[in-house]
Structure 1
């Protein structure tokens, strides 16, 4: 989805200048059966664990692909999740009661403004990874008008004057690298970036070269994107499976998607999905896979 068009950009700019479903599962046991891989094996979820890696087991015959220490893939695989069975919350506190969309909810603060939508969730995951690893100079995102917003300047006290046709930096604060300053920067990115700008920034990759952290994205109005948060591979056949996460519209918490195409495999997706990837709320083509 695309929450901002050119007119919306101008309106937001004026404002800135002025003010600167998880399916019901038996909760009585620690480990629950969520789907059947074959007649003898099941994929299990450990409801007491709070990361993707610890909560979700891989299908029979698979093992998680190796990732480098301190890599984006390791970061995503170890993303914190809320208590199993929790439902997604919108920015206004209301609950997303739509069924057959997600199986877990990411533990993420999305604020109380309608900002944290699909592209924003992906950008925040990437920025959080870089921030936690002190790679501040790599945190930058383009606005829909092409302006490059750099956190390296933001933390040095520079702020961004957003005009109707252009943007510019000005010295507006003391240097500060606190987490609250970082999140203020990200809120500005959320307001002026979108699937349109993010799609242009990312690089296309072949579907067979998929990695954790890659993004299926369709820029536009509407547009949408989802991010690959874990992968596993069959030890005998080499076949790969992956997990996806998204936010949506209106702004809501990031969620781990179910697989609507294969209940026996869900929440994993097979890489051999053909020409189109059907997710609960959007359909992508295999050539829409991109990478930071």
Structure 2
């Protein structure tokens, strides 16, 4: 797998391989799955299967389920504007730019969503991601007028300009993080949780080379406590973040049912286990 995350002698080659109104048009299956093509957010586009209701969520979870989507039928595009070769893995595409460099791949998309939420909330001091060699890259440090210098095996903070916490500075910071962080560093930074305790914002992640990560975007639950979840990913080359289809059950796709998961979660381009679930630590 080709990637760009390395520091000479220190960093390894680690990344991924890769409330609807009654007037809305709807598509339904024989088992009652409802997709509202006119819905402009996750919560508006995808209704839970019959018998399930969306769970209560924290602010991060609400942020994720209300993210805007491109129109129904929109194709996934790569960072260079080309269409992704495989257009059969997504049910919707998030209306979030991918940038113009081959940087925002799998773990990067997870970090992007978390960082965007924290930035919009004004929690700059909570935006921090470790490079693969363990270097802590904090946006608070960056925005106070420092830059990150990478010289062969050495990574250090260097005074640069005046304090700058603008969105443009934030995106420059993320590009630096995407270059030198990956699935392994993110996996080490997150805390492992029980599959039964899953909530929106949690991440299925396998750190390594290759490695991959997908984020839990939304959850619904029935009276038995069984859950349905929506998953999102980017992949390689860098591409727009998209909601994944369920390759094993078209009747409930894009939802995934925990009742149908024993130990392995099959996603269109990667298999995870229930032991791969992790959460951002506050």
Moved more, 116-125 or 76-85: 76-85
Question: Are 1:84 and 2:78 matched, yes or no?
Answer: no
Given that 2:215 and 2:233 are in contact with CA atoms closer than 8 Å, whether structure 1 keeps it comes out as yes
Structure 2 Cα separation of the partners of residues 250 and 97 of structure 1: 10
Structure 2 Cα separation of the partners of residues 174 and 34 of structure 1: 55
Deviations for 1:29-53, whole angstroms, at most 9, x for unmatched residues? Answer: 942325342xxxx222222221101
For structure 2, list consecutive stretches of 5 or more residues without a partner in the other structure: 12-22
Given that 2:61 and 2:200 are in contact with CA atoms closer than 8 Å, whether structure 1 keeps it comes out as yes
Structure 1 Cα separation of the partners of residues 68 and 45 of structure 2: 10
Question: Are 1:150 and 2:138 matched, yes or no?
Answer: yes
Given that 1:2 and 1:222 are in contact with CA atoms closer than 8 Å, whether structure 2 keeps it comes out as no
Equivalenced residues, count: 268
Structure 2 Cα separation of the partners of residues 230 and 137 of structure 1: 26
Alignment of 1:151-170 (within 5 A): 151-170=139-158
Given that 1:141 and 1:148 are in contact with CA atoms closer than 8 Å, whether structure 2 keeps it comes out as yes
Alignment of 1:90-129 (within 5 A): 90-129=78-117
**Deviating 4+ runs (over 4 angstroms):** none
Q: 1:2 to 1:57 in 2, by over 3 A?
A: farther
Given that 2:7 and 2:153 are in contact with CA atoms closer than 8 Å, whether structure 1 keeps it comes out as no
Which SS does the other structure have where 1:230 is aligned? strand
Question: Are 1:275 and 2:263 matched, yes or no?
Answer: yes
Deviations for 1:191-223, whole angstroms, at most 9, x for unmatched residues? Answer: 110001101001100111111111000111111
Deviation at 1:10, TM superposition (A): 3.0
Match of 1:3 in 2: 3
Match of 2:19 in 1: none
Match of 2:233 in 1: 246
Structure 2 Cα separation of the partners of residues 138 and 35 of structure 1: 43
Given that 1:102 and 1:256 are in contact with CA atoms closer than 8 Å, whether structure 2 keeps it comes out as yes
2:25 to 2, 25, 31: 31
For structure 1, list consecutive stretches of 5 or more residues without a partner in the other structure: 14-28
2:56 to 54, 63, 66: 66
Deviation at 1:166, TM superposition (A): 2.4
Structure 2 Cα separation of the partners of residues 218 and 106 of structure 1: 23
Which SS does the other structure have where 1:217 is aligned? strand
Structure 2 Cα separation of the partners of residues 228 and 36 of structure 1: 26
Deviation at 1:188, TM superposition (A): 0.5
Deviation at 1:3, TM superposition (A): 2.3
Structure 2 Cα separation of the partners of residues 191 and 212 of structure 1: 26
Match of 1:237 in 2: 224
Given that 1:48 and 1:84 are in contact with CA atoms closer than 8 Å, whether structure 2 keeps it comes out as yes
Question: Are 1:56 and 2:46 matched, yes or no?
Answer: yes
Match of 1:224 in 2: 212
Structure 1 Cα separation of the partners of residues 97 and 169 of structure 2: 15
Q: Please, what is the CA RMSD of the aligned residues?
A: 1.9
Given that 2:125 and 2:140 are in contact with CA atoms closer than 8 Å, whether structure 1 keeps it comes out as yes
